[in-house]
Amino acid sequence: MAASVPRDVTSYSLGLAAPLALFFLVFFVAPLVQLLVLSLHNDTAGAAWGFGQYVHFLTDPFSLSVLGSTLLLGAEVTALCLVLGFPIAWLYHRVGSRAQTLIILIVLLPLLTSVVVRTFAWIVILGRQGIINATLQSIGVIDTPIRLLYTQLGVVLALAQVQMPLMTLPLITALGRIDSNLEDASCSLGAGSWRTFWKVILPLSLPGVIAGCTLTYAAAITAFITQSLVGGGQMLFMPMYLYQQASTLQNWPFASAISIIFLLAVLAVVSVFGLLGRLSRGYGGA
């Protein structure tokens, strides 16, 4: 009697994935297709078809400036999160277990709080009588309160705090995979701390840096609540622009075109991050 061939544990019936595929088809693919069809209406009545809404957006300097300012905002928030998050992740692997627990608690605490609550807290902090202005006035740095709320700086600071866990957690994971003997070997060969960081630690942590930048960037440019409340009516970003066209002006074809263009822009940036991630894996393994 022939021995039975053991079943490959990695092979499963495609029927097991059918519920998830159906869920994505109904709640993700179908709305996107409907959005794409709606964006091809040249007027709100849906009587004429064409690419008029896309031409309108791409030839309108105001719309392009809103898209550019939104993409720039994501870059600023990502850069600030990286500068602040990397030292936190580095410190995590150089302290004791109790301090590590405290750091993880501090990093995860924002995720346990509603983004609306955190945003209103930043409104209080950045206000004319807030903590920052009161502190600067008390130590004599400024005589009158400076404007922080409803400014680009205020939006960047608030978004950086809100999205910080998305940057710090991948960095902690990436730094934890680096063999500590490599750092010791670099130092024993005469390299200083900064040279060891630039030549050993940073290249090997690039996969975590790329993953954190991707998550932070995508979350920052789509953070409708924080952008709207902290930015107020002084600045306009793509999520609010889209909301105004859809809900206030009832111009659904143009709002759909804005959504498609914004989605493609985000996918382009994320694809660049993905390409950098693949290159960093090759660089780290070299």
Burial of 151 per CB tally in 10 Å (0-12, 13-18, 19+): middle
The whole-angstrom separation of Cα 242 and Cα 113 is: 27
Going residue by residue through the chain (286 aa), what tens digit of pLDDT does each one get? 455 555 665 666 777 888 888 998 999 899 999 999 999 988 877 778 889 999 999 999 999 999 999 999 999 999 999 999 999 999 998 888 889 999 988 888 877 888 888 888 888 888 888 888 888 888 888 888 888 888 889 899 999 988 899 999 999 999 998 888 888 888 888 888 888 888 888 888 888 999 999 999 999 998 888 888 888 777 889 999 999 999 888 899 999 999 999 999 999 988 888 888 777 766 554 4
pLDDT at 12: 64
Tell me how far apart the alpha carbons of residues 196 and 188 are, in angstroms, rounded to a whole number: 10
Phi then psi for 41, rounded to 5 degrees?
-90, 125
Residue 80 tokens read as 């600030």
Which 3 state secondary structure label does DSSP give 83? Answer: helix
Can you read off the two tokens belonging to residue 218?
């995508």
pLDDT at residue 5, as a whole number: 57
Global confidence as pTM: 0.85
pLDDT of residue 193: 81
Spatial CA neighbour of 259 closest among 230, 216, 224, 210: 224
| 152-176 vs 206-221: helix crossing angle, rounded to 10 | 150
Q: How far apart are CA 235 and CA 150, in angstroms?
A: 8
